[in-house]
């Protein structure tokens, strides 16, 4: 199908992984392409294939190292010099680097990564966005990451660059709201590309479960076309990270992410055992309190209440399973930690149960007394959940210490 034959999409990082999959989707919809990366031969061959397969009018290859000074200006000049109007800009090119920041990673590599992941991305956005705003038409997709909204120990600088991309993009969403230009952040979880090999993280636990880059590209493409501000690629499992990032304690998030970035064959040591327990409890509490809070939301119908109750009981058993799994993996020497975690879990469960029943009653009252009471009980529930969360957080910290 050739529906967008007059339009052009410029994709950085189009030679492999997510960028390559995105290029295929644009080609399928008939976009002319500008493909940017360092591997010219690879890009040329890929571009020729897409052109032939989809009957595209024009595919332009730009061989450029985007980690270098003025790279964005060079790309912009080369493209506009050929009279090409870029209707869609995809800032996909990016790299990571694995290791302890203080003692292991190399500054030259980190500096190049910061340049590629943030400076070039920002400069390309500035140059092409100016033209888009002048035309009052255009779309931009920026590759952020799930680590844009979470800490990522052992890939600290990478996480910093992706947090930048996310915040930068969301700020521009607001600045562009009165135009026909949209900007979208794509937040993939760990994805099966060359990324982890290049980052020196090929033997880490995170690589044991990777998402399909085809799926990630499809989710990003769909959100971009709809002009959505952001999308976490994948199903509920990935999307729940976004919720947890906002409500789980930083210690628990750090513990989970650190574990992911450690070598696959790492021995189970004390800190990781404690971390697992803390993470499990943090996640459990987050799920339970989140559900209790949602249950008192103003529009809760009898049907929704039933659904929430069902979800609540599922969450409870999932959490119990998770706890049992973790318990099995705890060595005898860590029985102290286990006991303390059990105590915390009991408190957490009771607290969440109380909140749930308070929430249920409050929702019933609200339902009965109509809209007027809604604001008040929502704010009560919010405060209740906040209080519960503070005590849970304290309990988790106590369990870890």
Ligand X SMILES: NC(=O)c1ccc[n+]([C@@H]2O[C@H](COP(=O)([O-])OP(=O)(O)OC[C@H]3O[C@@H](n4cnc5c(N)ncnc54)[C@H](OP(=O)(O)O)[C@@H]3O)[C@@H](O)[C@H]2O)c1
Q: Does 13 bind ligand X (CB under 6 A)?
A: yes
The one catalytic residue in 24, 162, 230, 316 is 162
- By CB under 6 A, residue 190 contacts ligand X: yes
Residue 166: active-site member = no
- Binding residue for ligand X (CB under 6 A) from 127, 143, 150, 256? 143
Q: Is 194 in the site for ligand X (CB under 6 A)?
A: yes
The verdict on 141 binding ligand X (CB under 6 A) reads: no
Is 366 near ligand X (CB under 6 A)?
Answer: no
Helix axes 17-28, 40-54, angle to 10 degrees: 20
Q: For this structure, is 158 an active site residue?
A: yes
Does 70 contact ligand X by CB under 6 A? Answer: no
Sole window of 93-101, 259-267, 297-305, 324-332 interacting with ligand X (rule: CB under 6 A): 93-101
Q: Is 38 in the site for ligand X (CB under 6 A)?
A: yes
SS3 content of the chain, % helix, strand, coil (to 5): 65, 10, 25
Q: Annotated catalytic residue: which of 7, 24, 139, 158?
A: 158
Distance CA 65, CA 262 (A): 30
195 binds ligand X (CB under 6 A): yes
Q: Tell how far CA 223 is from the center of its chain.
A: 14
Tokens at 76, concatenated: 């912009």
> Is 238 one of the binding residues for ligand X (CB under 6 A)?
no
Q: How far is 9 from 72, CA to CA, in rounded Å?
A: 16
Q: Is 142 in the site for ligand X (CB under 6 A)?
A: no
* Helix, strand, or coil (residue 227): coil
Segment near ligand X (CB under 6 A); pick from 13-21, 236-244, 310-318, 347-355: 13-21
What size, in residues, is the chain? 401
Comparison of 259 and 316: residue with beta carbon closer to ligand X: 259
Q: How far, rounded to the nearest angstrom, does the alpha carbon of residue 318 sit from its chain's CA centroid?
A: 23
Strand order in the sheet with 59-63: 59-63, 32-37, 8-12, 88-91, 138-143, 181-187, 230-232
Which window, 87-95, 253-261, 284-292, 333-341, contacts ligand X (CB under 6 A)?
A: 87-95
Q: Which is nearer to ligand X, 119 or 397 (CB)?
A: 119
**Token pair in block for residue 13:** 């990082």
Among residues 125, 191, 204, 348, the one that binds ligand X under rule CB under 6 A: 191
In angstroms, give the least distance from the CB of 15 to ligand X: 4
User: Of 26-34, 62-70, 238-246, 330-338, which part binds ligand X (CB under 6 A)?
Assistant: 62-70
Query: Six-digit token pair at 213?
Result: 């880059």
Binding residues for ligand X, total number by CB under 6 A: 27
User: Considering the rule CB under 6 A, would residue 16 count as an interface residue with ligand X?
Assistant: yes
Neighbours of 16 (CB within 10 A): 19
Residue 363 makes contact with ligand X by CB under 6 A: no
According to the binding rule CB under 6 A, does residue 307 interact with ligand X? no
Which residue of 67, 238, 274, 374 would you call a contact of ligand X, by CB under 6 A? 67
**Phi and psi for 61 in degrees, rounded to 5?**
-105, 130
**What gap in Å lies between CA 161 and CA 147, rounded to an integer?**
9
Instruction: Work out whether 19 is an interface residue with ligand X (CB under 6 A).
Output: yes
Tokens linked to 24: 């295929």
Coil, strand or helix at 361:
helix
**What phi and psi, each to the nearest 5 degrees, are found at residue 73?**
-60, -40
Name the H helices within 179-301. 195-198, 213-226, 236-247, 250-260, 270-295
Question: Judged by CB under 6 A, does residue 18 bind ligand X?
Answer: yes
Residue 112 CB coordination number (10 Å): 17
Q: Is 17 in the site for ligand X (CB under 6 A)?
A: yes
Active-site residue set: 158, 162
Which chain residues interact with ligand X by CB under 6 A? 13-19, 37-39, 65-67, 92-95, 116, 143, 145, 188, 190-191, 193-195, 198
């Amino acid at each position: 199908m050739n529906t967008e034959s007059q339009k052009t999409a410029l994709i950085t990082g189009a030679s492999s992984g997510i960028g390559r999959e995105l290029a295929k989707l644009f080609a399928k919809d008939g976009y002319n392409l500008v493909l940017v990366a360092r591997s010219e031969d690879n890009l040329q061959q890929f571009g020729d294939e897409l052109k032939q397969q989809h009957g595209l009018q024009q595919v332009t290859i730009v061989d450029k190292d985007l980690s270098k000074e003025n790279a964005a200006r060079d790309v912009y000049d080369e493209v506009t010099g050929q009279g090409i109007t870029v209707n869609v800009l995809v800032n996909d090119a990016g790299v990571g680097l694995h290791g302890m920041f203080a003692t292991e990673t190399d500054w030259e590599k980190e500096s190049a990564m910061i340049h590629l992941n943030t400076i070039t991305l920002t400069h390309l956005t500035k140059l092409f966005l100016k033209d888009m705003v002048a035309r009052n038409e255009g779309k931009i997709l920026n590759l952020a990451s799930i680590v844009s909204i979470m800490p990522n120990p052992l890939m600290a600088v990478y996480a910093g660059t992706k947090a930048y991309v996310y915040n930068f993009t969301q700020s521009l969403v607001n600045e562009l709201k009165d135009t026909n230009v949209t900007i979208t952040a794509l937040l993939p979880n760990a994805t099966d590309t060359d990324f982890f090999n290049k980052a020196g993280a090929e033997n880490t636990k995170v690589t044991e479960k990777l998402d399909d880059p085809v799926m990630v590209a499809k989710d990003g493409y769909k959100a971009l076309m709809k002009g959505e501000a952001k999308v976490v690629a994948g199903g509920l499992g990935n999307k729940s990270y976004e919720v947890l990032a906002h409500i789980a304690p930083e210690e628990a998030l750090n513990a989970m992410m650190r574990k992911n970035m450690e070598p696959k064959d790492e021995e189970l040591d004390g800190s990781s055992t404690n971390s697992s327990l803390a993470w499990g409890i943090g996640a459990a509490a987050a799920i339970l309190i989140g559900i209790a809070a949602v249950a008192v939301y103003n529009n809760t119908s009898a049907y929704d209440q039933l659904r929430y109750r069902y979800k609540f009981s599922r969450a409870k058993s999932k959490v119990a399973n998770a706890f049992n799994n973790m318990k099995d993996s705890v060595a005898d020497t860590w029985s102290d930690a286990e006991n303390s975690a059990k105590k915390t879990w009991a408190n957490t469960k009771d607290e969440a149960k109380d909140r749930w029943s308070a929430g249920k009653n409050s929702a019933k009252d609200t339902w009965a007394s109509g809209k007027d009471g809604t604001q008040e009980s929502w704010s009560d529930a919010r405060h209740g959940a906040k209080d519960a969360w503070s005590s849970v957080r304290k309990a988790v910290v106590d369990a870890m210490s």
